[in-house]
Amino acid sequence: MEPGQEAGCAPPVDHRQALVNVAVESWRFARLFARILTKLDAGEAPRFASQLRYYLKCLDDNLEAADLKIVNLEGHPYDPGIAASALNIGDFAPEDVLIVDQMVEPIIMGASGLIRPGTVMLQKVPR
């Protein structure tokens, strides 16, 4: 492993793949940052929340320029055909109605279709 290279960060194959990798890691970091914002006092949180919104807007704009888009399915009904694998699908019966409770990794779409599938956690819809 190269000095400064993280264990989970594989070197990119090409520029587009590098951008996809940066997008996924940025998405993860933004979610972490959003959780940290909930722990700040009311005086500091709005300023940092504004910076986070600006960062996410810049990320989306730059991905759009490369014909890429981050797709988040949280709160949507689960369908086995979605472009994401469900980590906890084995916890549910076939007749259960499920929703996407949490995106673990986002779906990355391109102009020609799926670029990188996502990973989700599911939740049973109460009847």
For 22-50, the pLDDT digits (tens) are: 999 999 999 999 999 999 988 889 989 99
* CATH architecture type of domain 15-124: Roll (2.30)
CA 12 to chain centroid, in Å, comes to 19
The answer to whether the pTM exceeds 0.85 is no
Domain coordinates in residue numbering, the chain: 15-124
For 52-102, the pLDDT digits (tens) are: 999 999 999 999 999 999 999 999 999 999 999 999 999 999 999 999 999
